[in-house]
Structure 1
Amino acid sequence: MRWGRRLGLAALATLCLAPAPVSAQGRVIDAWQGIVLNCGPGTELAWADRICKLLIGEMRKQAEAAKIAFVAVPTPSDDVTLDRRASEEGLDIFSIIHVRFGISPPTGSLKNRDLTLVLRSLTAGSLFEMRKDGHYKVLSYTPMISINEGEAAARAPWVAQALAELFFIPMLKARP
């Protein structure tokens, strides 16, 4: 009797934790043809470069699992360069989501930094940002992790995985 009850609770817990089925409208990420990640930290921080390399690997792995095209640009690049790389990979620049990795200046006595992924698109988003040839629409969702600069090198694998998950988990949900 106890085993049956435990199995029932385990099955219920599994059902609650299972990902929601994708609706007929698809997933949020399906609004785009692919992802272009610009992960060039633009700093001399060795730990930031390591996080970028790990983040590119994590996002590539998750993009492959989600069956969505992925292009990584591992150096700080302008919008024209990102669009050209996407085009070289066969992606329409109006059907991609640009993801930029950013690092805030250190703050406070602990020298905390915010590590963010800024999501931009030419076709979807609620905020606007200028680019040389027009407007980007910035999605109001920005994955972010605050980290102590002294711990960043040691925690680089965790940071990369967490940022990738913070990006993909809401993107893989069914569209409302």
Structure 2
Amino acid sequence: MLQAAMMMAVALAGAEVGAPPPFHALPHGSQMLYLDTTPGHYSMWQTHDLDGVNAVRAHFRVRLIGQDKKWIGAFNFSLERDDRLVRVSITGIAGKPVLVVQMQDGKASAPKEDPQPGAMWIDEEADLAIDWDQSGHATFWIKSTDPNAPLAQALAMTLDLGGAPTTFSISGSTGELEVMSLALGHSG
């Protein structure tokens, strides 16, 4: 089923969308992050300090998808509030070069997936922008830095968290995610 979704993701690579609003990073707020997660295990980085913040910017790539009998490689950039979450999820299968990029929302235990996923390649660099307001409307925008890649045209979606987020997290399982630049700040 995931392989069929991957092929559909390549065919449905997003239509052109506008750029995210201007961004102003917090002082000393930019960092790098590397999640190198053993197959079958889980890693997470998170912050609960979102006071005065309404945007995140990241430049990243998935370096490797590992192989496990039970778990596929998966990476998430998430906003959470109580038991709800909104996120961009990137999944793949070991040995396959295509990754599925989906927006998801709902309860943290069972998020609903975007019916029209995007696609990207292993080692493809991409930019991610997440902007939100106090009512919980969060816009996710993801675009490849390679003009010839499947995600060369941005994929964007606005999801509703039902109130201002309390947590931003990056998680990974069964693979390697390199975030070359991560900044929290203000947009608009």
* TM-score normalized with structure 1 length: 0.27
**Structure ID, larger Rg:** 1
Q: Which structure ranks higher in relative contact order (CA pairs < 8 Å, sequence separation ≥ 6)? A: 2
More helix by share: 1
